[in-house]
Amino acid sequence: MPRQRPAALDSPLTKRALKIMSRVNAFAYRATDGYVGGRLPAHSGAPDGIPVCLLTTRGRKTGRLRTAPLLYLSDPGSEGERVVVVASQGGMERHPLWFRNILAEPTVIVQTGGRMRRMRARVADDLERAELWPRLVELYPDYADYQSWTDRVIPVVICEAAARPAA
């Protein structure tokens, strides 16, 4: 039985504050190439903080570009560096909007520091998730709490280099 998600996280005031903070974070991140807003201050034993990326998706209904600051894990893959993010939404029962956007259009833009890359996002399969989840919880232990607060399996999303068109 999952533990109860704190009710304060679902208040309209908290939701509005998080939305505003995300917009301010994205603005500061872009303006400083991640110098400001590029790391979540450490509270989990990561002395330098936890890295933050900007994930830009195309809205599945509006077609407008939407940007979300997200914690990420840099993961070397066979085709180059991968950026791994978690669709936790703080353990809410529904997936975050950015996750639903990538299901409709997997081409995304990922900014890590001053580096912007067009990437292709996909949901990790069960084996990949089993390998990545412990590393993600080590990076940010709150993910374990978020998973305990919901019945849904929190998706792990892998962003990889977008395929280049043939010449």
Rg (CA), the chain: 16
CATH number 2.30.110.10 is the correct assignment for the domain at 7-161: yes
How far is Cα 54 from Cα 25, in angstroms, rounded to an integer? 9
Give the model's pLDDT for residue 163: 66
Q: Given a cut of 90, is residue 164 above it in pLDDT?
A: no
In this prediction the pTM is 0.87
66-108 pLDDT per residue, tens? 999 999 998 876 566 899 999 998 888 889 999 999 999 999 9
What residue segments make up the domains of the chain, in order of their start?
7-161
- E strands, 64-154, are 65-71, 73-77, 80-86, 107-112, 115-123
Give the model's pLDDT for residue 1: 42
* Spatial contact of 136 and 73, defined as CB atoms under 8 Å apart: yes
3-59 pLDDT per residue, tens? 677 776 777 887 788 889 989 999 999 999 999 999 988 665 667 789 999 999 999
How far is Cα 24 from Cα 32, in angstroms, rounded to an integer? 12
* Spatial contact of 39 and 50, defined as CB atoms under 8 Å apart: yes
108-150 pLDDT per residue, tens? 999 999 999 999 999 999 999 999 999 999 999 899 999 999 8
